[in-house]
Amino acid sequence: GWELSWLIWLSLFIFLCAMWCVTGSLLLTLFIDLIAFLLLMYVIMNWPWLQRKFIFTNWLLQAMQADLGLEQPERFGLVGGVNRKIGQLGCWYVEIPSSQTVVVYCHGSSGTRGSDYRVELVNYLSQQLHCSVYSFDYRGYADSLLDVSEMSQVSVVADARKIIHMARLEHSTSKIVLYGHSLGAGVVCQAAYQLSEEGLPLDQIVLEAPFVSVADWAYDYYLIVRIMNVVPGFRGFPWRFTDILQAKDIIGKLRNVLILSAEDDTVTLSSHGARLHALCPGSTFHLATKGGHNHLIQQESVKRAIAQHLEPR
């Protein structure tokens, strides 16, 4: 999101200044920068490995994630949780023995399961709604140790399915809810669709700050993408990415879906949630006035919407 946006603009500014110092001519500098920029965009458009670096941004904070102390979830404010390894995936698990509802939480593109707003959500689900919760990190994030080079749409969906499989093994008689935030909402849609096609549908789904697809999100969020989309040879630029976690073509096949968006979300516009709601018959769309991209759970209306959605049916 914002970290990558600032990194792109800072890199362009530094390159512009460097070229100006070398050439001594502003016009020549702008011409060289334009050629370099178009070349970079061409490389991004045709190189899936680099595309994935823009989508899965764990590498931006990787050095800071090396030793976070995630094996002690209480340090992050998690109530009643334990740290586990499910395969190679780091996971926090909160068990509510009397609960008949289990939530698998898929987080967004940056940070870890220890991010404060993610902990706040898990605490609400477990302590207020009495759901058992699995909150995990995808491979390459935090202490999930699978080879980072393997990261792709296929891999993050496979990671989510691994946790869902474990939840079903350990809670065979419970209702399984898949909850995704931002990029995690795209992961949820893909995983839920695959399981539905295999005759193993999820009981309920919650999509918080979801996007129609990574490509549609990038078009709305990055000015560069909108500019490139009108340049001959680059039209349809973001839709040529290979890992766009597209939800709009599959969400209509999902059931029992709650979609949460905020009017003041400047990262993923609420129009994405509205579009997904229109494409998903029987879904519920809750539009909060505040909450931004990461703090919807602090809104009482959102808490009520989640509680109502997870009520026994």
| pLDDT tens for each residue of 100-126 | 999 999 999 988 999 999 999 999 999
Q: CA 98, CA 14: separation in Å to the nearest integer? A: 57
Asked whether residue 52 carries a pLDDT value surpassing 70, the answer given is yes
pLDDT over 70, % of the chain: 85
What is the reported pTM?
A: 0.85
Residue 114: its pLDDT value, please?
93
pLDDT for 239 beyond 60: yes
Beta strands 81-86; 89-94: pairing state: antiparallel
- Identify which has the larger pLDDT, 230 or 12: 230
Q: Note whether 287 and 313 are within 8 A (CB).
A: no
Under the banding of pLDDT at 50, 70 and 90, the label for residue 247 is very high
DSSP string, 75-99: GGT-SSEEEEEETTEEEEEE--TT-
Taking the C-alpha atoms of residue 43 and residue 230, their distance in angstroms, rounded to an integer, is 17
**Does residue 28 sit in helix, strand or coil?**
helix
The pLDDT value recorded for residue 166 is 98
- CA-wise closest residue to 140 among 208, 50, 61, 51: 61
- For residue 1, is pLDDT > 60? no
Closest-CA residue to 294 (of 119, 128, 142, 61): 119
Give the confidence band of 210 by pLDDT, cuts at 50, 70, 90.
very high
The residue ranges of DSSP E strands in the chain, in sequence order, are 81-86, 89-94, 101-106, 132-136, 175-181, 204-208, 257-262, 284-288
Residue 301: which residues within 8 A CB-CB, separation 6 or more?
A: 286, 288
* Residue 64: its H or E element: helix 62-65
CA distances to 5, 159, 257 from 165, in Å? 36, 10, 20
Closest CA relative to residue 285, chosen from 209, 219, 216: 209
Would you say 91 and 135 are in contact if contact means Cβ atoms under 8 Å apart? yes
Strands 81-86 and 257-262, bridge-based pairing: unpaired
Which of 293, 220, 281 shows the shortest CA–CA distance to 251? 281
Q: Do 289 and 262 form a contact (C-beta atoms < 8 A)?
A: yes
